[in-house]
Chains A and B, each alone.
Chain A
């Protein structure tokens, strides 16, 4: 049987409490053993048939990253991204499992669309798990056949991109999904309150003369959803939390024992609405980039566990959607290939420990969705990311694997780089093999 050994790296696996130099043995696509490097006397003969050795000295070895929030655009918008290119981008970013949202065309609201995605995903470099729609056509009117979606492969439910406007329907969705043990991911936005806003409402929108979206547009719906989760005991996960007020709502809900989890994106943790100055449409997203006080609060919430997960909200858009007037530009940025380095920036700044980074990017997302991922324990699938924390690089959109290049980080100097990504024991990304 093929054996893969990752030798001498600093293994960080919060699930098993390991942060030490270890050798990881992989057989049959699974972790066979993890041995402390200093005690490991296993004789490895380089070049022996069936043996592959990765020298990870000076590198960090962690469970593959798990992204609960991506838009892979297939079916329907293949000119922006496909499952294949999205998975390539994920692999290059250290992600080994990604969830893809249902706002495709057609919407992933029935088993045939789910099966199409699952089929396409079989040839992809990383594990791609579909999220099914909560309501038919994301229209917020009628529940989807969630049991069938689950059978076809959906691991969660969300109308992401659109809020569920009707409170009664949201209540039923939270109740019904309990029997299926599926989490509802809420895109919390009061669209009437957000109005025609295109960025955060505040001093910057006033200066730029752009219409603003107040924090309350997000917070009002989060408050409602938390109450509904409390009422129904359903499983609620809040997508892309962006404001200080949202953090406070989630914090007090958790304290009160409500079953709610939450995610924040790397961009909401690292950029403020000032990024929109100069009318850079790559700084246009929904929810919008907020004020510094919100960013500081999100960072604190990530540290103290109020925010469980970092998720990218990877949202590829073509030049046609982005190289237009700010008011007309589409929302969103690509995030898979910059996420690790951006969050590592928070480690460098002292906001998180590296162990916490692995938690919020791998272990916690796996737990939130009850996925059998996010650990290097013996027997686990060998989904692994290897990073060089000293490597410095500059974001060059033209070299991104994603089909779309819409990133506000072009030209940004980064520290910490994914050098290898392994899925099921197979190397799916190797930076040394990049041109």
Chain B
């Protein structure tokens, strides 16, 4: 199996075969992380740059560990130490990094579309680690892997995504990923956070949270940014939590064997109550474990010997 793709910019333009290839490759890499010596030589001599314009602990660490377990050299650049604060443009940064001959640049940026722009500036692979409210493809892949592992399938699964849909790249990538593999996706959140035309991405918009989760096999709770109160998206964390937070009471209206995902980091007591986050339905830590495997698969398929040129 091969991929012709240079970059991973989003799930929207991936084929079903490509998604399945990424997932099956990730499954096979999970074993590496269980070994005593957690390393394979596959990408020895390759250089990966993690270019993070937005703070991130989990995703950056996950990409870094994934690269290292594949024996690639990983370099991290974060906004605090980069030239961005000195006013260097993205294009200049890209060209300077390109001149150091990396094999891949993993980029996270608060502006949607930045990875796509970067991919036009550089010849190496570009991997989107989250761009504004656009896409977060590795997150959707690890969510797919987590659900597939637990339920044995994606096709026919009913996924409910609850929270700030408008500002969520996780929601968009998961809508594309799950619907492409035959799942049905319902989204719900405060009307202020439901973007116009979201149905055109292939999901259903529910009127309220109860409606969204009642038939769901999987509930994905999104992180709410508390700063959004200041922009009048919701009046208070208290009321948000009451209407859209997942607690034991609301969980009782869902299916008995429902599973719960959250991309993290969790605002405990706001979008998800601590007992639910730590409860038996929660797969939050499995998601993190699978994140490494998925990112190893991404590196392997984009940088490995199998890539067609």
Q: What residues of chain A have their CB less than 8 Å away from a CB belonging to chain B?
A: 195, 201-212, 278-279, 320, 323-328
- Are A206 and B169 in contact, CB atoms less than 8 angstroms apart? no
- Are A323 and B196 in contact, CB atoms less than 8 angstroms apart? no
A208 with B195: in contact, given A203-B200, A324-B90, A327-B132 (CB under 8 Å)? no
CA distance A209 to B198 in the complex (A): 11
* Chain B interface residue count, Cβ-Cβ cutoff 8 angstroms: 27
Q: Which of B23-31, B57-65, B112-120 contacts A (4 or more CB under 8 A)?
A: B112-120
The 8 Å CB contact of B112, one of A195, A203, A210, A323, is A210
Q: Shortest beta-carbon distance, B281 to chain A, in Å?
A: 29
- Are B112 and A209 in contact, CB atoms less than 8 angstroms apart? yes
Closest partner residue, chain A, to B172 (CB atom)? A209
Q: What residues of chain B have their CB less than 8 Å away from a CB belonging to chain A?
A: 12, 89-91, 109-114, 116-117, 131-135, 166, 169, 172, 195-198, 200-201, 231
Point out the residues of chain B lying under 8 angstroms from A324, CB to CB: 89-91
Closest partner residue, chain A, to B166 (CB atom)? A206
- Are A202 and B113 in contact, CB atoms less than 8 angstroms apart? no
Point out the residues of chain A lying under 8 angstroms from B132, CB to CB: 209-210, 327
- Are A209 and B131 in contact, CB atoms less than 8 angstroms apart? yes
Most B C-beta atoms less than 10 A away, residue of A203, A204, A212: A203
A328 with B111: in contact, given A206-B195, A208-B134, A209-B169 (CB under 8 Å)? yes
Closest partner residue, chain A, to B114 (CB atom)? A325
- Are B134 and A327 in contact, CB atoms less than 8 angstroms apart? no
Point out the residues of chain B lying under 8 angstroms from A204, CB to CB: 197
The 8 Å CB contact of B117, one of A201, A206, A207, A279, is A279
Point out the residues of chain A lying under 8 angstroms from B231, CB to CB: 195
A278 with B89: in contact, given A201-B196, A209-B133, A326-B111 (CB under 8 Å)? no
CA distance A206 to B111 in the complex (A): 14
Q: Shortest beta-carbon distance, B16 to chain A, in Å?
A: 19
The 8 Å CB contact of A203, one of B12, B111, B197, is B197
Q: Shortest beta-carbon distance, B166 to chain A, in Å?
A: 8
Point out the residues of chain A lying under 8 angstroms from B12, CB to CB: 207
- Are B90 and A279 in contact, CB atoms less than 8 angstroms apart? no
- Are B198 and A206 in contact, CB atoms less than 8 angstroms apart? yes
Point out the residues of chain B lying under 8 angstroms from A326, CB to CB: 111-114, 117
- Are A206 and B113 in contact, CB atoms less than 8 angstroms apart? no
The total of Cβ contacts below 8 Å across the A-B interface reads: 71
CA distance A202 to B195 in the complex (A): 8
By Cβ-Cβ distance, the 8 closest A-B pairs, closest first, are A203-B197, A209-B134, A279-B113, A209-B133, A209-B112, A325-B111, A206-B195, A327-B111
A206 with B90: in contact, given A327-B111, A328-B111 (CB under 8 Å)? no
Closest partner residue, chain B, to A278 (CB atom)? B116
Point out the residues of chain A lying under 8 angstroms from B198, CB to CB: 206
The 8 Å CB contact of A206, one of B89, B114, B197, is B197
The 8 Å CB contact of A327, one of B112, B116, B172, B197, is B112
A325 with B197: in contact, given A209-B112, A209-B132 (CB under 8 Å)? no
Beyond the given pairs A203-B196, A326-B112, A327-B132, 17 more chain A to chain B contacts, judged by CB atoms under 8 angstroms and listed by A's residue number, are: A195-B231, A203-B200, A206-B166, A207-B12, A208-B113, A209-B131, A212-B195, A279-B112, A279-B113, A279-B116, A279-B117, A324-B89, A324-B90, A325-B114, A325-B117, A327-B110, A327-B112
- Are A212 and B113 in contact, CB atoms less than 8 angstroms apart? no
- Are B109 and A206 in contact, CB atoms less than 8 angstroms apart? no
- Are A207 and B116 in contact, CB atoms less than 8 angstroms apart? no
Point out the residues of chain A lying under 8 angstroms from B169, CB to CB: 209
CA distance A151 to B102 in the complex (A): 62
CA distance A84 to B224 in the complex (A): 52
CA distance A212 to B172 in the complex (A): 16
Q: Shortest beta-carbon distance, A397 to chain B, in Å?
A: 16
Closest partner residue, chain A, to B112 (CB atom)? A209
- 9 A-B residue pairs with CB within 8 Å: A202-B197, A205-B195, A207-B200, A209-B133, A210-B112, A210-B113, A279-B113, A323-B89, A326-B114
The 8 Å CB contact of A325, one of B113, B166, B172, B196, is B113
CA distance A211 to B113 in the complex (A): 12
CA distance A206 to B109 in the complex (A): 17
Closest partner residue, chain A, to B201 (CB atom)? A207
CA distance A271 to B195 in the complex (A): 22
Point out the residues of chain A lying under 8 angstroms from B172, CB to CB: 207, 209
Point out the residues of chain A lying under 8 angstroms from B111, CB to CB: 325-328
Q: Shortest beta-carbon distance, B115 to chain A, in Å?
A: 10
Closest partner residue, chain A, to B135 (CB atom)? A209
Point out the residues of chain B lying under 8 angstroms from A195, CB to CB: 231
A206 with B201: in contact, given A325-B90, A325-B117 (CB under 8 Å)? yes
CA distance A204 to B195 in the complex (A): 10
Q: Shortest beta-carbon distance, A172 to chain B, in Å?
A: 31
Q: Shortest beta-carbon distance, B119 to chain A, in Å?
A: 11
Point out the residues of chain A lying under 8 angstroms from B134, CB to CB: 208-210
Point out the residues of chain B lying under 8 angstroms from A210, CB to CB: 112-113, 132-134
CA distance A210 to B109 in the complex (A): 13
Q: Shortest beta-carbon distance, A323 to chain B, in Å?
A: 6
- Are A206 and B116 in contact, CB atoms less than 8 angstroms apart? no
CA distance A204 to B200 in the complex (A): 9
CA distance A320 to B89 in the complex (A): 9
Q: Shortest beta-carbon distance, A191 to chain B, in Å?
A: 14
- Are B196 and A202 in contact, CB atoms less than 8 angstroms apart? yes
Q: Shortest beta-carbon distance, B71 to chain A, in Å?
A: 33
CA distance A320 to B12 in the complex (A): 30
A212 with B196: in contact, given A279-B112, A326-B112 (CB under 8 Å)? yes
Q: Shortest beta-carbon distance, A242 to chain B, in Å?
A: 17
Q: Shortest beta-carbon distance, A408 to chain B, in Å?
A: 15
- Are B201 and A325 in contact, CB atoms less than 8 angstroms apart? no
Q: Shortest beta-carbon distance, A103 to chain B, in Å?
A: 24
Point out the residues of chain A lying under 8 angstroms from B196, CB to CB: 201-203, 205-206, 212
Point out the residues of chain B lying under 8 angstroms from A211, CB to CB: 133
- Are A325 and B109 in contact, CB atoms less than 8 angstroms apart? yes
Closest partner residue, chain A, to B200 (CB atom)? A203
CA distance A210 to B131 in the complex (A): 10
Point out the residues of chain A lying under 8 angstroms from B133, CB to CB: 209-211
Q: Shortest beta-carbon distance, A435 to chain B, in Å?
A: 30
Point out the residues of chain B lying under 8 angstroms from A320, CB to CB: 89
Q: Shortest beta-carbon distance, B241 to chain A, in Å?
A: 25
Point out the residues of chain B lying under 8 angstroms from A202, CB to CB: 196-197
Q: Shortest beta-carbon distance, B190 to chain A, in Å?
A: 16
CA distance A326 to B113 in the complex (A): 7
Most B C-beta atoms less than 10 A away, residue of A204, A208, A209, A320: A209
CA distance A206 to B112 in the complex (A): 11
CA distance A206 to B117 in the complex (A): 19
CA distance A326 to B200 in the complex (A): 23
